[in-house]
Amino acid sequence: MPMNKIAVFPGSFDPVTLGHYNIVKRAAVLFDKIIVAIGSNPDKKNLFTIEQRLLFLQQSFAEIDNVMVDSYRGLTIDYCKKVDAKYILRGLRNNSDFDFEKSIAQMNQDIEPEIETVFLVCPPHLTAISSSIVRDIYKNGGHIQQFIPPSVNI
Ligand code: ADP
């Protein structure tokens, strides 16, 4: 049993938003270490490369000592085992997030009962923020600064 409570916060982070930032900031006091990890998903059409997204994550969380950033291929559960994390952190905005997340968490529970998925509910003012809408605004030349952490230089 590791002494440290390590959580993996997996996602696409294409790009990181204030919603992600809020979840990580609040979780940073609950866990000894959080690894914000970009899962490379070949089925998703990404706007930013993994390298760009890693840089944006580094810029976002540079000030929080116990937050690291990384990327991985394959199953999240396998990545958790590799880094000795017993917790998967996810954020919830609404019912559709919940329905989707519930199934994944339950199947992960079957595969690896020792790894717990922990959910944090986002505050009401961040419910509308999603990476996909931020991407649409960006692609169409709009301003995205108000939706991403101020330290991110996109
Ligand atoms: P994925 O492709 O795995 O959904 P995302 O980068 O879109 O990756 O999201 C990563 C995590 O952050 C997910 O748990 C998602 O529900 C959560 N999340 C995304 N936007 C918000 C937000 N505005 N508030 C809280 N959590 C959020």
123-133 in b/e form (b: 16+ CB < 10 A) is eeebeebebee
User: Could you tell me if residue 67 is inside a domain?
Assistant: yes
pLDDT tens by residue, 102-121: 999 999 999 999 999 999 99
Query: Using a 6 Å CB cutoff, which residues line ligand 1?
Result: 11-13, 17, 19-20, 23, 90-91, 93, 97, 122, 126, 129-131
* pTM, entire model: 0.96
What's the one-letter identity of residue 54?
A: L
Question: Where are the strands (E) in 13-153, listed by range?
Answer: 33-39, 67-72, 87-92, 116-121
Domain containing residue 141: CATH number: 3.40.50.620
Q: Which residue among 47, 52, 97 is best mutated to probe the pocket of ligand 1, counting the most ligand atoms within 8 A of its Cβ?
A: 97
DSSP bridge partners of 7: 34, 87
Assess if residue 154 is contained within a domain: no
Task: pLDDT band for 128, please (50, 70, 90 cuts).
Answer: very high
Catalytic positions: 20, 44, 93, 131
**End-to-end CA gap in the chain:** 40
Q: Measure 93 CA to ligand 1 centroid, in angstroms.
A: 8
pLDDT digits (tens, 9 = 90+) for 27-82: 999 999 999 999 998 888 899 999 999 999 999 999 999 999 999 999 999 999 99
**Do 18 and 131 contact (CB within 8 A), yes or no?**
no
Determine, yes or no, domain membership for 153.
no
- Is the residue at 1 inside a domain? no
Q: Please state which of the ranges 4-18, 34-48, 80-94, 128-142 shows the lowest mean pLDDT.
A: 34-48
Domain holding 97, by residue range, is 6-147
Number of domains in the chain: 1
Task: Using the mean position of ligand 1's atoms as its centre, give its distance from the Cα of residue 111 in Å.
Answer: 22
Task: Assess if residue 18 is contained within a domain.
Answer: yes
